[in-house]
Copies of this chain bind each other. A is one copy, B any other.
Amino acid sequence: MSRINHQVRLAARPVGQVRPTDWEHTEEPVAEPGDGELLVQVLYLSIDPAMRGWMNAGKSYIPPVEVGEVMRAGAVGRVIASRHPGFAVGDHVSGSLGVQEYCLSDGRGLTKVDPAVASLPTYLGTLGMTGLTAYFGLIDIGRPEPGQTVVVSGAAGAVGSVVGQIAKIMGCRVIGIAGGERKCRLVVEEFGFDAAIDYQTEDVRKALREHAPDGVDVYFDNVGGDVLEAVLDRLARGARIVICGAVSQYNSADPVKGPRNYMSLLVNRASMTGMVVFDYADRYSEGITQLAEWRAAGRLRSLEDVVSGGVAAFPETLLRLFRGENLGKLVLKVADE
């Protein structure tokens, strides 16, 4: 083979906002698979808020990406060479393939996916880690009951849009919080939320008083910061807050803002619990089966925002995510299917 593998590596740990100089663009010849290995051509990369955390040093729920390493990324790709008994040329797989054009793998952590059932980007969204995060976070930690009020931030985003739709399926009243009129319209019209609050132009506290007059039973938080404080002020008794992310804080060079009104947890006998989807690995198939069933029944809509440009466009695409420019799941196309 004389193929070249273009890669994006972490060059420096960012402080605050990620800069172009935090990345190094490298290339190397594509290696041949050895015994028990396969070679995957990367087709689509998943662009996730969590990536910002992986770039930081220090203890977290998975080890940081080291400086000099290929940036970690979920992806789907096609097997183009295989000496692994479990995978054949032409198979499509999803897994942590990294920000590169080709990935040599021993097959561990790879899952076969079927492009006849759903588009490949959907396996990075609703039928991938995104959908599973929404599913387990809402069902296991949020535990909404029919008739309860569920609030979701980042509601037009990959995880938020799925959370809200599952909550609707469960018979809840669902309010999305998103930035901008276009996203808020999407949340109501496309994803079927009962209401949307535009945090850029509305007073979130006031809007919550209107849309959640009896308080918020479940809050699925993707953003942290001021929005988290506003919802804390509106909790119903026994409320459950699912801490999935804090994207408003990730790129801040200032200290993270803690929720000053966390004592609302005491006043309302409420809880705030962190969740990491990887903990549910032994239940992924349960989640995927349920999500695929809802999707097939037309009850769960997928929206992927597929950006082209290949791995070279990764740094800019990640910034798009943090600028909140995507609608639904942000995916970077690396090669034609």
Contacts and interface: CB of A to CB of B under 8 A. Distances in A.
Interface of A: 59-61, 224, 229, 243-246, 249, 255-276, 279
Nearest to A233: B59
B258 A262 contact: yes
Nearest to A50: B266
Contacts of A270: 273-274
A264 to B, nearest CB: 8
A129 to B, nearest CB: 15
Contacts of A274: 263-271
Nearest to A270: B274
Given A243-B263, A270-B274, 11 more contacts: A61-B269, A256-B261, A257-B260, A258-B259, A263-B274, A266-B275, A269-B273, A269-B274, A270-B273, A271-B274, A272-B273
B262 A259 contact: yes
A261 B258 contact: yes
Q: Copy number in this complex?
A: 2
Nearest to A59: B267
A11 B270 CA distance: 32
B265 A255 contact: no
B262 A262 contact: yes
A271 B269 contact: no
A256 B265 contact: no
Contacts of A257: 258, 260
Contacts of A256: 260-261, 263
18 contacts: A60-B267, A61-B268, A61-B269, A224-B263, A243-B263, A244-B266, A246-B266, A256-B260, A256-B263, A259-B262, A263-B274, A264-B274, A265-B273, A266-B274, A266-B276, A267-B276, A270-B273, A271-B274
Contacts of A59: 267
Nearest to A244: B266
A255 B244 CA distance: 26
Contacts of A272: 262, 265, 271-273
Contacts of A275: 266, 269
A20 B264 CA distance: 28
A249 B261 CA distance: 11
B61 A267 contact: yes
A263 B279 contact: no
Nearest to A278: B269
Given A224-B263, A243-B262, A258-B262, A276 B271 contact: no
A268 B260 CA distance: 21
Nearest to A62: B267
Given A256-B260, A258-B262, A263-B224, A273 B276 contact: no
A246 B260 CA distance: 12
A261 to B, nearest CB: 7
Contacts of A265: 243, 272-274
